[in-house]
Structure 1
Amino acid sequence: MVEKISKEQVLDRLRFENYWWRHHTIEEDYNDMQRRLYFDIFKPMVIDQSVKRAVVLMGPRRVGKTVMLHHTIQELLEQGVPAQKIIFITVENPIYTTIALEDLFNYALEAVGQKNPKDCYVFFDEIQYLKDWEIHLKTLVDSYRSTKFIVSGSAAAALKFKSNESGAGRFTDFLLPPLTFYEYIHINNLQHLMVESSLLWKNKEQPFYDTINAQLLNEHFVKYINFGGYPEIIFSPQMQKNPGRYIKQDIVDKVLLRDLPSLYGIKDVEELNRLFTTICFNTAHEFDYGDLSRTSGVKKHLIKTYIEYLESAFLVKKISRVNHTGKTFQREVKFKLYLSNPSLYAALFTPVTITNEKKMGDLVETAIYSQWMHRDWFNPYYARWRKGEVDMVGIDDGSLKPIWALEIKWSNRYVEKPNELSSLIDFCTENKLSSALITTIDIKTQQSFQGVTLQYVPCATYAYNVGKNTLDKKK
């Protein structure tokens, strides 16, 4: 006879997961991990009981969502919230698969001996594996007005879609992206390498930070490109020796083979995997649907849908093209694709070295784009026309005209040879831009050329500043 999981087994599992019920602190492993800088933005959303909304924490795998939830629990404990008022449930645990969300909540109250749900904080981790989770969560928010519900999930776009569809006025979304280079510096306690500069970009809103040791900062920038998107791998030399085993198996394969097929009903996962591998190897390149179909072997009519799936899993980002006057195209024929996290390249292929100029160029461009991807209020573009290209341009939402231009180079040669930046100069002249930015390996300077002020900034310091300013704006 097949035995069913008993209620007592469920209660025992809940008691095991909620370590603080017994010890009044989170487990040491979680407590020892550094808090992500996004924690200071996320924490107030949870602690504020006056807002009767559930908080939906979303983001790709292994960026620290579960750790952030535990850090939030520790903060609640330190602020005097009774341990028995804090409940944590890992929804994807097989022992809970047949139990409704409200029943899980009531079991947890029973397990901790809590009869009154008032002023409880309830955390549901990896909620996307519960069918119709948004309907169940909406019911809980409406039924238990004095209880704060916090959920997390890795399939961010699917979560966001369902959150927007069913949780209007009841859910607040929070996206936790991969580490920025600014966070990488912070987590590694390397802030002493950065100093506020009196030179470029100096203003009250966005001070510019320079480095006191460009060589050391570049060494860390390359390490960030190879391993830095994931907090755990930064501190594990063992994982860095074999990033394919860690990142590919634990992150990429689970997303491609389990998350996306289960959420979107994808049948041919090998086809999806081929497309992702093609994009990964060619990150920062321009594509069209025909090129991708021929290179990957995936049917052309499926490419667009698969890219949308990969974007929903925060594996890639598609960037749209504008012409030499900054105008978008009515029909999207060409576009660029970037890995949302440059570390994915090292996982599928091999870590890049500082001397590999061609591949470093692609991955540096990917890394810089990935810093901008954290700005959910801003969409960068690239410009390409018959006679030239500019790597990144900013378009004003109101006037729909270019307001800045950036050329991403892993080279110092353009300081001595500004004439080789003819596309950038032409774009600035056409759009009446008085200045433009060019990244370098380690030179920071500026010069005037053909009526345009060219500002040169090292790639690593530029990435640091974009990440810092993004986080400051979010705060």
Structure 2
Amino acid sequence: MLYPLVAQLAVRRAVVLLGPRRVGKTYLIFHLVERLIQNGVDPRRIGYLDVEHPVLQYQSLAALVDALDSGVPSSPDQPRFVFLDEIQYLRDWERHLKPIVDERPDLRILVSGSAAAALKRSSQESGAGRFTDFLLPPLTFPEYLLLSGQHELLTVNENRYDVPDYGQLNQAFINYLNYGGYPEVALSKEVRANAQRFIKSDIVDKVLLRDLPILYGISDVQELNALFTMLAYNTAQVISPSELSQKSNVAKPTLLKYIEYLEAAFLIHRLQRIDQSGRRFKRQRQFKAYLTNPTMRAALFGEMTADHDSFGALVETGLLAQLFHADREIRYAAWSGGEVDLVHLHRNLQPQAALEAKWSNRPLQDARLTRNLAKFCRSTGLNAAICTTIDQWGERQQDGILIRLIPAAIMCYHLGAITLDSAGIPVVAENRDKT
């Protein structure tokens, strides 16, 4: 959890809080400040600045720290706490932060920023041994249920999920996919009523039209916006950069840079391809592109109903979104005539689990829909795999492989709960008897 990283006095490191816009980074900082005060820290020893303010963007990091350095004496055992929000707008911030960490043991510093991958790369290159990265991704499905007061829609008894009403749970799941990924949208009826304007203007447009051009010197914003719009509409689909370059008349190297920038800003996430035997391709000619937050799909193109032809892709996007808390290697498998949506690799990069994301109950009666899943398991030595449904449970042996059929909402909750537990976040503790 984040508080111990900020409050610990024995380790001299700055904390870099990473995450996309509007996932609650600033709120979390204010919560940290409140907790520090509750634990006896003098409020005069705590300073906060929003570096996104135009007046502050041209100041040096040392000058900002000095501005927060009030007349209250500090020492290593009674430090001053400094919080700098949206740090990416300070040029060479990581290069200037490292000597401050080295020379000021009386300071505990946390910086945050939205262009997460760029920040992470900078902090790792310039702050080796001095920075600790902390990722704050969008809300998981368990967090959404808890925050919206719907956590009693399912319970766990002896490692079994009990659901009184699958209709209500699925409606909550549909709502989560459409607007539950952002805390403000999930919790505010006013914001939710105008979620398209809130997310598109305050999240997407600011990132595409301002953050990325400033950070990377992008001149043709229209090309970048068109690319993101296409990827967002086709979330969870296979993308070939070569084919996309030909269709868009954008040079392939430029296209790949744009995709890297979109991933750096946490707008999209790429999954690399493995073959039927679980081996990685030496040359990755294609990948699957996902929105990091399924809620962005509704913000750009309107709310998606459960009977929409593309709702299965949104379900797959939501399932993958649960795993951003976890340090897991996820791939997709594809070969001539077959594909498996999500494959979890072990640390030795061997397939450990496989999942086919579907929004249909047909796989219970039609084994052809899980044929590729069984083929992949046989080729890689897995003895079981999962296929999601709308609201039906089941299992069967298929060519010697145990195929488990699990409702998509349950699977999404399960992945989110496991991920939160592994991260030490007890957000679903009151709703779960066993891990």
Fold shared, TM-score > 0.5 on shorter chain:
yes
Distance 1:143 1:222, change over 3 A: same
Q: Which amino acid aligns with 1:321?
A: R
Deviation for aligned residue 1:295? 4.2
Q: What is residue 424 of structure 1 aligned with on the other side?
A: 373
CA distance in 2, matches of 1:99, 1:335: 41
Q: What is residue 119 of structure 1 aligned with on the other side?
A: 79
Alignment of 1:239-318 (within 5 A): 239-318=191-270
CA distance in 1, matches of 2:114, 2:353: 34
Is structure 2 residue 394 aligned with structure 1 residue 445?
Answer: yes
Alignment of 1:295-374 (within 5 A): 295-356=247-308, 358-374=309-325
Is structure 2 residue 33 aligned with structure 1 residue 81?
Answer: no
Q: What is residue 152 of structure 1 aligned with on the other side?
A: 112
Secondary structure, counterpart of 2:266 in structure 1: coil
> Deviation digits for residues 410-468 of structure 1, max 9, x if unmatched?
00111111233211122222223221101011112222233221111111111111111
CA distance in 1, matches of 2:222, 2:172: 35
CA distance in 2, matches of 1:88, 1:393: 42
Identity %: 45
CA distance in 2, matches of 1:408, 1:324: 18
RMSD: 1.6
CA distance in 2, matches of 1:94, 1:433: 55
- Tell whether the 8 Å contact from 1:125 to 1:151 is kept in structure 2 after alignment: yes
Q: Which amino acid aligns with 1:361?
A: G
CA distance in 2, matches of 1:390, 1:123: 44
Runs of 5+ consecutive residues of structure 1 not aligned to the other structure? 1-40, 203-207
Deviation for aligned residue 1:121? 0.7
TM-score, scaled to structure 1: 0.85
Deviation for aligned residue 1:86? 0.9
Deviation for aligned residue 1:337? 0.6
Q: What is residue 429 of structure 2 aligned with on the other side?
A: none
> Deviation digits for residues 79-119 of structure 1, max 9, x if unmatched?
11111111111112223233322222222334xx4254651
Secondary structure, counterpart of 1:380 in structure 2: strand
Deviation for aligned residue 1:72? 0.4
Is structure 2 residue 66 aligned with structure 1 residue 106?
Answer: yes
> Deviation digits for residues 257-315 of structure 1, max 9, x if unmatched?
11111111111111111110110111111111123224444332311111111111111
CA distance in 2, matches of 1:383, 1:50: 45
Secondary structure, counterpart of 2:244 in structure 1: helix
Secondary structure, counterpart of 2:310 in structure 1: helix
**1:97 alignment partner, one of 53, 57, 73:** 57
The answer to which of 63-72 and 182-191 deviates more is: 182-191
CA distance in 1, matches of 2:340, 2:94: 42
Deviation for aligned residue 1:189? 2.5
Secondary structure, counterpart of 2:55 in structure 1: helix
Distance 1:420 1:58, change over 3 A: closer
Q: Which amino acid aligns with 1:450?
A: D
> Deviation digits for residues 224-269 of structure 1, max 9, x if unmatched?
1111111001122333233221111111111111111111111111
Deviation for aligned residue 1:404? 2.0
TM-score, scaled to structure 2: 0.93
CA distance in 1, matches of 2:171, 2:204: 26
Q: What is residue 336 of structure 2 aligned with on the other side?
A: 386
Q: What is residue 433 of structure 2 aligned with on the other side?
A: none
> Deviation digits for residues 362-408 of structure 1, max 9, x if unmatched?
10011111112332x2121111111211111223332x432221111
CA distance in 2, matches of 1:394, 1:116: 48
| Number of corresponding residues | 422
- Tell whether the 8 Å contact from 2:329 to 2:346 is kept in structure 1 after alignment: no
Q: Which amino acid aligns with 2:390?
A: I
Runs of 5+ consecutive residues of structure 2 not aligned to the other structure? 425-435
Distance 1:432 1:94, change over 3 A: closer
The answer to which of 81-90 and 299-308 deviates more is: 299-308
CA distance in 2, matches of 1:439, 1:160: 34
Q: Which amino acid aligns with 1:219?
A: Q
CA distance in 1, matches of 2:373, 2:174: 26
Distance 1:214 1:297, change over 3 A: farther
Q: Which amino acid aligns with 1:392?
A: L
Distance 1:401 1:134, change over 3 A: closer
CA distance in 1, matches of 2:11, 2:73: 23
Distance 1:85 1:209, change over 3 A: farther
Larger relative contact order (CA 8 Å, sep ≥ 6): 2
CA distance in 2, matches of 1:297, 1:232: 38
Deviation for aligned residue 1:197? 4.1
Distance 1:427 1:104, change over 3 A: closer
Is structure 2 residue 370 aligned with structure 1 residue 412?
Answer: no
Deviation for aligned residue 1:210? 4.4
Q: What is residue 58 of structure 1 aligned with on the other side?
A: 18
